[in-house]
Amino acid sequence: MPADQMGAAHPLHILLAEDETVTRLAARVLLERAGHRVVAVEDGPAAVAAAAADSFDLILMDLGLPGLPGDEAVRAIRHQPGGGTPRILMLTASATSEGQDRCNGCGADGTLIKPLRLDALLAALSRGAQTRTPAADPASEPAFDERAIGTMQEMLPAARVAELIEKTVAVLRQHGQTLDEALKKGDLTIAGAMAHKIAGVSGQYGCVALRRAARALEKELEEKGADTGGQAGELAGMLTPALEFLERCAAAARG
């Protein structure tokens, strides 16, 4: 369904808390195109402060926020005096049981698996408070979903689309380098965090196979404490074609 056909009957005032710039920009564009008013912040303390200062119909809270994790930010918001009871949905790219448990146990009303899709958001809102949208990464999915880029092209000037994609290329390349360095040093905490970030960014920009590999590596590192299944190598193998795909999309946008 085209994004411009997925607006709510009653536009919402939405607080979007997401630390990755390229993901936050893409999500904000989708929400605003659907007719909603959006306040976007990039860390946990800013989310708590914004919720205290204004009244929101909906809060979309990323789990992995800096400063104060998303689940802790939700708890802080729920305990604010006179803050009302806004609907809160967690956003996460996590494939791990620990990540899901944190989302489910913090007092949020549900969870949406990244990348943010308006049809999934509307379904979550229509089904009520305890909606949790499960992840779906079947191996039969294509490596790339060009609709993600196509949606942005429908909404933004071509130069702006190209700029966003180019920033995404730089972000993914840096995350990939940090991941590789962390694995070489045996720093599984940083490696898991980078896999999580790669999953979130790549999914929002249509790099489906890279997202799938990143989620698999994150899960492997959490559950087994090591990459025993060669998931890091699979992710590395997916990163180069993903970057090439995005670079082609940026060049096409610039004409």
pLDDT (tens digit per residue) in 226-255: 887 789 999 999 999 999 999 999 999 988
pLDDT (tens digit per residue) in 190-225: 999 999 999 989 988 999 999 999 999 998 998 888
pLDDT (tens digit per residue) in 147-160: 888 888 887 889 98
Rounded Cα distance between 87 and 182, Å, is 37
Q: Would you say the pTM of this structure is higher than 0.75?
A: yes
- How, if at all, do strands 87-92 and 13-17 pair? unpaired
Average pLDDT, the chain: 86
pLDDT (tens digit per residue) in 32-70: 888 899 999 999 999 999 999 999 999 999 998 999 999
Rounded Cα distance between 28 and 183, Å, is 33
- Per-residue confidence (pLDDT) for residue 74, from 0 to 100: 95
| Spatial contact of 241 and 143, defined as CB atoms under 8 Å apart | yes
Alpha-helix residue ranges (DSSP H) falling in the chain: 21-33, 44-53, 70-78, 97-104, 118-127, 146-155, 158-185, 188-204, 208-224, 231-254
Query: Where does residue 66 fall: left (phi above 0), alpha (psi -120 to 50 degrees), or beta otherwise?
Result: beta
- Whether the link from the prior residue into 115 is cis, omega within 30° of 0, is yes
| Residue 223 identity (one-letter amino acid) | E
Q: Which residue, among 4, 1, 14, has the nearest Cα to 125 in the 3D structure?
A: 14
